[in-house]
Amino acid sequence: MNLMKTVCKLSHGLGSRFKEFEATMLTLRLVESYCYRLQRCFVNTSVPMSVHCRAFGVTNNTSAGKNSIQRSNAQQFSLLNSSQDISPLICADHRNYIQQQSCGYKKIQNRHLWMQTKAQISNQKLLGQYNPALLTKFRNINILSTKEILAASPPFMQPYLRLIRFDKPIGSFLLWWPCSWSIGLAAEAGHLPDLYIMLLFATGSFLMRGAGCIVNDMWDKDFDKKVERTKLRPLASGELSMFQGLICLAVNLSLSLAILLQLNLYSIILGASSLFLVISYPLAKRYTYWPQVMLGLTLNWGVLLSWAALRGSIEWPVISLYIACVLHTMTYDTIYAHQDKYDDMLIGVKSTALLMGNNTKLWLTGFSTMMVSGLTLTGYLCDQTWPYYTTVAAAAVQLAYQLYTVDLNNPEDCFAKFKSNSRLGFILFLGIVLGTLLKPTAENKSGSEKAITAG
């Protein structure tokens, strides 16, 4: 009886191991058949086939002269459970593998299999991550980022999406947050912001940001060819012609006009007047060291427009807010401009980053101080409550942290600090909404005045 139990246990264990091994080999065969497509996931796409065949744990043991399968000790791999994944280590000594260089997300698709890989190269070792959705055409990996959407879109659309910076939504957010601040401040006391107006301006921010990028690339096509960060943009690289860029611009402006026509007449006239700023901003960097001022005036025009859409006029509180937002844009875009300062010097493009040089942090501290003062004045003029001032203080701390820690000679750090301003935008928006909700309404004010009079 004991012998039978032992035999059953052994057969069960061997059966499980065989299934796991069979599933592993099936995956390896699929991976091998897609090696030529996986090459795009790795640096410079010229990686030897043997490296790709090791992508999911198979390595060539040169000392033993045979292949072996490696697994991460912390992971177990099974095609029978799609919630599991494997993170193997691939030793890849290759001239194209550069220390601390990384590549992004790519997708491999066939009829039955979706894969998502994320590769990072560090200390000449490639870390591959496999997340199966597995062997069924009815399952998909959730696409969570704009870069993944771009990679999954039809090839003919990808240059147009990159032209409007669809894969870099930070610009749309930085255009949208000041609009949301203005909408929140213009809301009636004790009420949430107008959701319909917010939706219109969110869509408009995305479209006008795309239009601005197209205009910028059309003006700067010859400059972009000489800058490392921008030389692969669709117009600069020749992937799209100027006529194709013009068609894309017309589509963006037409859709933006359709949104603008939903507003009142005052707002329509005000919005149309911003087109001059959108077109002329890219020229500013050729003639002045202060193109960031022009960018601030252009990018924050939605502050005036959204206030006018709700109030029907321009008032002192929104003027104060507009000036504060312009100063904020000058701060974060000067940090952004430090990414290209060496290329800009060579090709003759001007910026506040070149003008301020080693005194950049001192200048930006002044801009940030004036911005916080402008936000405080705006709150006072709008009768804001303590949540608003709390988030203004939090924004001041975030700006101070940015300026204290930023390495202006490190392009990656400059871009990271630039992106962090979106979090600042959300913090301020939250404070504006809460502060407006806590503001006393007209009924409450009249009731308190009557109580004081009666007393």
Tell me: pLDDT of 199 over 60: yes
E strand or H helix at 141, and its extent?
none
- Categorize the per-residue pLDDT at 128 as very low, low, confident or very high, splitting at 50, 70 and 90: very low
pLDDT at 443: 59
List all residues 6 or more positions away from 116 whose beta carbon is below 8 Å from its beta carbon. Answer: 105, 107, 129, 130, 131, 133, 141
Query: Dihedral sign, CA of 230, 232, 234, 237?
Result: positive
More confident residue, 362 or 108: 362
Tell me: pLDDT of 372 over 90: yes
More confident residue, 217 or 48: 217
Tell me: pLDDT of 1 over 70: no
| Range of lowest pLDDT (139-153, 356-370, 433-447) | 139-153
pLDDT at 146: 79
Q: What is the mean pLDDT of residues 70-93?
A: 36
Could you read off the pLDDT of 11-23 as tens digits, one per residue? Answer: 555 455 555 555 5
Q: What is the mean pLDDT of residues 29-44?
A: 45
Tell me: pLDDT of 211 over 80: yes
- Categorize the per-residue pLDDT at 144 as very low, low, confident or very high, splitting at 50, 70 and 90: low
Tell me: pLDDT of 43 over 60: no
- Categorize the per-residue pLDDT at 80 as very low, low, confident or very high, splitting at 50, 70 and 90: very low
pLDDT at 56: 37
Tell me: pLDDT of 316 over 60: yes
Q: How many CA atoms lie within 13 A of 310 on its CB side?
A: 25
Q: What is the mean pLDDT of residues 227-246?
A: 94
Give the number of other Cβ atoms within 10 Å of residue 421's Cβ.
Answer: 23
Q: Is 242 exposed, middle or buried (0-12, 13-18, 19+ CB in 10 A)?
A: exposed
More confident residue, 350 or 68: 350
Q: CA-to-CA distance for 432 and 426, rounded, in angstroms?
A: 10
pLDDT at 81: 35
Could you read off the pLDDT of 99-118 as tens digits, one per residue? Answer: 333 343 333 333 333 333 33
Q: What is the mean pLDDT of residues 323-340?
A: 97
Could you read off the pLDDT of 411-426 as tens digits, one per residue? Answer: 999 999 999 999 999 9
The CATH superfamily assigned to 160-446 is UbiA prenyltransferase (1.10.357.140)
Sheet containing 114-122: order of strands: 89-91, 125-127, 114-122, 102-109
More confident residue, 28 or 352: 352
pLDDT at 434: 97
Query: Dihedral sign, CA of 347, 348, 349, 353?
Result: positive
**pTM score, whole prediction:** 0.69
Residues forming beta bridges with residue 125, ordered by sequence position: 91, 122
Q: pLDDT averaged over the chain?
A: 77
| Range of lowest pLDDT (243-247, 296-300, 317-321, 448-452) | 448-452
- Categorize the per-residue pLDDT at 71 as very low, low, confident or very high, splitting at 50, 70 and 90: very low
Domains in the chain: boundaries = 15-142, 160-446
- Categorize the per-residue pLDDT at 138 as very low, low, confident or very high, splitting at 50, 70 and 90: very low
| Range of lowest pLDDT (57-71, 136-150, 434-448) | 57-71
pLDDT at 147: 81
The residue among 68, 59, 76 whose CA lies nearest residue 23 is: 76
Q: CA-to-CA distance for 344 and 361, rounded, in angstroms?
A: 19
E strand or H helix at 135, and its extent?
none
| Range of lowest pLDDT (70-84, 228-242, 301-315, 435-449) | 70-84
Tell me: pLDDT of 317 over 70: yes
Give the number of other Cβ atoms within 10 Å of residue 355's Cβ.
Answer: 16
pLDDT at 12: 54
Could you read off the pLDDT of 249-269 as tens digits, one per residue? Answer: 999 999 999 999 999 999 999
Q: In this structure, what is the dihedral angle of CA atoms 75, 76, 81, 85, given to the nearest 10 degrees?
A: 40
Q: What is the mean pLDDT of residues 151-175?
A: 93
